[in-house]
């Protein structure tokens, strides 16, 4: 079943996972589960002919998307999109860069709350993804597993008795599941403890990846923790493996914040206030600088150093100030220089000129 | 800071934690794209690490001679050779897990430390795997026949594909009248017809 949602409407709203209201959402941005699945009667993507790819896309469209198995979805023919629109979906985390940049028949079905997306003809025939705000892996698993069952009742998955769900890359075989939690860890970065923390995680086979973007090493201080192993452990075990480490990271980050507040309250307050000031007054600003400053502001709000701003607003600004979003919102193609001006305007509009809750007067 | 791979400014700074240690990558936009699209762009941090594992001859305990012989071995269904897999890091079809089972096992052990799936299984029985695999092979044969302008052979194969799909549908579900449970690939037949040229 399809709705009348368009990408333009998507650009104006904000995804469910940006709500910033889930458990531990001051530090945990989102929880995501991804499942890799393949149809049994087609070669994997690398050996698909153009015709095979088109046939896979059609099977999914007709059997899954049009069959009302999924409710309220926007079905997007990614192959037919302009590059700015593909980039927009990447920034939104609804499709992967790989899907955006590959060739041939491929698509994505997106539910209207942007919690669920189903990519067709990515590295595997199917990539199901479910995102939740804050820390909620169990909730994400329950929902994605139900959708997986629905799809599986209509198509034949490539499945092996011993090896489980078969995937194009052996790194995903078995459960085909990647569990990821995205965390905002600015204090661990500021206190230079982040590398030490990463090394510890790696010893227990977890992967850490800095969130990229048009960003610096800090890139807004967002880090994604995920499982590396997919075979030989149940989905529950994999979620536990990732889930168990998250409270520890949260605790480390909180301790680092406490340390900063205790040892350098003035410097910290100064840094946060300056970041907020620049974001509200800049005439032109790069995406990298924006991410960097928003990160300080986000921590400042969490620590009560800024009191006229809310977390969902900041979460949204991280996404909406990225290049394709600015262009979609503006409705124009913009080069880097114009984007930097547009970005500054956008920030001003949302941080300074917005209806102030308390009239303490930002100006 | 400059990109590690060219002269352009590094716009992306990626922290990768897949090997023995933390790897810092500083890349320009183009190279970052390229790098990230090797994997799953932010979701599959293990994929880039696979390349060194699979492309190091000898890492799975074979002599160079054995390796080159194994490398030429091709999957009868999709035609991929193990050599090709070692280079691109992606398999060609589900059957590869059978026909390269011996070669893949040490790799799978080194990635996962296990060889047996634990966890969710499809609710529907997967007893028709042979038929599905056969369909992959037949479609490839038909494409080759069309390419070789042997339309007679192509149309024979097409009929065979149709018959297989009908059997598949017939045994798929007792309530075959429900359109939702009909064979998902049924509509494929028309599009598979050899082009009229
Ligand atoms: Zn470069
Ligand atoms: Zn094969």
Residue A12 sits at φ, ψ, to 5 deg, of -85, -30
CA of B99 to the centre of ligand 2 (A): 8
Of A32, A41, A172, which has the smallest distance from its Cβ to B136's Cβ? A41
And the tokens for A361?
């007067």
Structural domain containing residue A192:
3-258
In a domain, A359, yes or no: no
Other C-beta atoms within 10 Å of A201: how many? 18
The residues, any chain, with a CB within 8 Å of residue A18's CB and separated by 6 or more, are A133, A312, A315, A316, A319
Q: Count CA atoms closer than 13 A to A189's CA, side-chain side.
A: 18
A248 and A331 fall within a common domain: no
Q: Which of A217, A234, A258 is the last residue of a domain?
A: A258
Summarize pLDDT for A205-227 with one digit per residue, the tens. Answer: 888 877 754 333 547 899 889 99
Q: Can you give the pLDDT at residue A11?
A: 79
Q: Same structural domain for residues A163 and A285? A: no
The total number of structural domains in chain A stands at 2
Find the B90 Cα to ligand 2 centroid distance in Å: 11
Query: Residue A215 has what pLDDT?
Result: 34
* pLDDT tier at B147, thresholds 50, 70, 90: confident
A363 in a domain, yes or no? no
Q: Are residues A241 and A119 in the same domain?
A: yes
Alpha helices in chain A (DSSP H): 7-12, 50-59, 83-91, 97-101, 137-152, 186-190, 194-203, 235-281, 287-302, 311-320, 323-330, 336-351
Min mean pLDDT across A26-35, A292-301, B129-138, B149-158 is at: B129-138
Decide if A356 is inside a domain.
no
Partner residue facing A169 (CB), from B37, B90, B133: B90
Domain boundary among A258, A289, A308: A258
Q: What is the pLDDT of residue A232?
A: 94
Model pLDDT, residue B67: 64
Tell me the shortest Cα–Cα distance from A350 to chain B, in angstroms. 26
A150 occurs within a structural domain: yes
- Cα–Cα distance list, B185 to A56, B132, B157, B164, B191 (Å): 8, 10, 16, 11, 11
The ligand whose atoms approach the alpha carbon of B78 most closely is 2
Among the three residues A207, A224, A258, which one is the final residue of a domain in this structure?
A258
Both A200 and A284 in one domain: the answer is no
> What does pLDDT average to over chain B?
70
27-66 in chain B: CB under 8 A from chain A: 29, 32-33, 36-37, 39-47, 49-50
Q: Does residue A157 sit in the same domain as residue A221?
A: yes
Residues A74 and A160 in one domain: yes
Give yes or no: residues A158 and A200 share one domain.
yes
What are the structure tokens assigned to A183, written together? Answer: 């965390």
Q: Is the pLDDT of residue B121 over 50?
A: yes
User: Cα–Cα distance between A230 and B43 in angstroms, integer?
Assistant: 13
Identify all chain A residues contacting B9, using CB atoms and an 8 Å cutoff.
none
Collect all residues of chain A within an 8 Å Cβ-Cβ radius of residue B94. 38, 40, 44, 158, 160, 166
Task: Look at residue A298 and tell me if it is in a domain.
Answer: yes
User: Distance (Å, rounded) from C-alpha A220 to C-alpha A296?
Assistant: 8
ipTM: 0.86
* Domain CATH code at residue A169: 3.30.590.10
Centroid of ligand 2 to alpha carbon of B77 (angstroms):
5
Indicate if A232 and A102 belong to the same structural domain. Answer: yes
- DSSP code of residue B52: H
In a domain, residue A361? The reply is no
Question: Is residue A304 situated within a structural domain?
Answer: yes
pTM of the model: 0.79
Give the pLDDT confidence of B21-69 residue by residue, as tens digits.
556 677 777 777 667 655 433 333 333 333 333 333 334 445 666 667 7
Ordered per-residue pLDDT tens for chain A, 363 residues: 344 458 888 877 777 777 777 778 889 999 999 999 999 999 999 999 999 999 999 999 998 888 777 778 899 999 999 999 999 999 988 999 889 999 999 999 999 889 999 999 999 999 999 999 889 999 999 999 999 999 998 899 999 989 999 999 999 999 999 999 999 999 999 998 888 888 888 778 888 877 754 333 547 899 889 999 999 999 999 999 999 999 999 999 999 999 999 999 999 999 999 999 999 999 999 998 999 999 999 999 999 999 999 998 999 999 999 999 999 988 889 999 999 999 999 999 999 865 545 444 433
Give tens-digit pLDDT for A219-277.
789 988 999 999 999 999 999 999 999 999 999 999 999 999 999 999 999 999 999 99
A210 in the same domain as A121: yes
CB within 8 Å of A32: residues ≥ 6 apart: A17, A129, A130, A131, A132, A140, A179, A180, A181, A182, B43
- For residue A345, the model assigns a pLDDT of 96
Same domain, A72 and A87: yes
Residue of A136, A133, A120, A115 whose CA lies nearest to A179: A136
DSSP string, A132-170: EESS-HHHHHHHHHHHHHHHHTTS-B-EETTTEE--SSG
Pair (A60, A194) in one structural domain = yes
- A220 within some domain: yes
Q: Do B36 and A214 touch (CB under 8 A)?
A: no
Element holding B103 (H helix, E strand): helix B101-112
Q: Are residues A222 and A149 in the same domain?
A: yes
Q: Give the whole-angstrom CA distance, residue A121 versus residue A41.
A: 14
Which residues of chain B neighbour A159 with C-beta distances below 8 Å? 121-122, 126, 129
pLDDT of residue B11: 66
Taking an 8 Å cut-off on Cβ atoms, the answer to whether A208 and B15 are in contact is: yes
């Amino acid at each position: 079943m399809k709705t009348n949602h368009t990408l333009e409407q998507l650009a104006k709203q904000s995804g469910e996972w940006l709500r910033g209201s889930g458990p531990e959402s001051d530090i945990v941005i989102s929880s995501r589960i991804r499942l890799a699945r393949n149809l049994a009667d087609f070669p994997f993507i690398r050996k698909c002919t153009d015709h095979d790819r088109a046939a896979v896309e059609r099977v999914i469209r007709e059997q899954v998307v049009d069959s009302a198995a999924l409710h309220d979805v926007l079905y997007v023919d990614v192959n037919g999109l302009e590059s700015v629109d593909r980039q927009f979906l990447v920034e939104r985390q609804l499709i992967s860069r790989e899907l955006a940049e590959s060739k041939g028949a491929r698509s994505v079905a997106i539910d209207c709350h942007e919690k669920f997306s189903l990519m067709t003809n990515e590295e595997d025939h199917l990539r199901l993804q479910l995102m939740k705000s804050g820390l909620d892996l169990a909730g994400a698993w329950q929902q994605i597993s139900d959708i997986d069952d629905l799809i599986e009742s209509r198509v034949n998955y490539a499945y092996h008795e011993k090896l489980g769900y078969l995937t194009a890359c052996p790194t995903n075989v078995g459960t085909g599941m990647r569990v990821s939690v995205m965390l905002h860890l600015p204090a661990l970065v500021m206190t230079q403890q982040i590398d030490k923390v990463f090394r510890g995680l790696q010893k227990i086979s977890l992967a850490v990846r800095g969130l990229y973007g048009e960003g610096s090493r800090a890139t807004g201080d967002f880090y994604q923790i995920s499982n590396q192993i997919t075979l030989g452990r149940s989905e529950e075990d994999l979620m536990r493996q990732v889930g168990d480490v998250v409270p520890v990271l949260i605790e480390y980050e909180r301790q680092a914040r406490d340390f900063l507040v205790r040892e350098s309250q003035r410097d910290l307050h100064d840094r946060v206030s300056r970041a907020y000031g620049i974001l509200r007054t800049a005439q032109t600003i790069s995406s990298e600088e924006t991410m960097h400053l928003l990160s300080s502001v986000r921590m400042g709000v969490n620590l009560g150093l800024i009191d006229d701003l809310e977390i969902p607003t900041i979460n949204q600004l991280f996404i909406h100030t990225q290049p394709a979003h600015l262009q979609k919102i503006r409705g124009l193609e913009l080069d880097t220089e114009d984007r930097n001006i547009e970005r500054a305007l956008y920030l001003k509009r949302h941080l300074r000129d917005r209806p102030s809750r308390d009239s303490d007067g930002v100006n | 800071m400059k990109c590690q791979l060219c002269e352009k400014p590094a716009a992306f700074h990626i922290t990768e934690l897949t090997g023995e240690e933390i790897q810092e990558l500083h890349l320009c936009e183009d190279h970052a794209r390229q790098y990230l699209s090797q994997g799953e762009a932010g979701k599959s941090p293990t994929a880039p690490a696979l390349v060194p594992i699979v492309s190091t001859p000898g890492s799975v305990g074979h002599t160079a001679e054995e390796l080159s012989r194994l490398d030429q071995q091709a999957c009868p269904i999709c035609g991929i050779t193990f050599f090709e897999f070692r280079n691109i890091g992606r398999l060609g079809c589900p059957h590869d897990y059978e026909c390269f089972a011996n070669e893949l096992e040490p790799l799978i052990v080194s990635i996962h430390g296990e060889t047996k799936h634990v966890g969710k299984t499809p609710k529907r029985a997967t007893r028709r795997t042979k038929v599905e695999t056969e369909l992959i092979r037949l479609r490839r044969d038909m494409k080759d026949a069309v390419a070789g302008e042997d339309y007679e052979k192509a149309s024979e194969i097409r009929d065979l594909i149709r018959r297989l799909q009908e059997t598949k549908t017939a045994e798929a579900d007792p309530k075959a009248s429900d359109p939702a449970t009909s064979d998902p690939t049924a509509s494929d037949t028309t599009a598979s017809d050899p082009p009229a040229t």
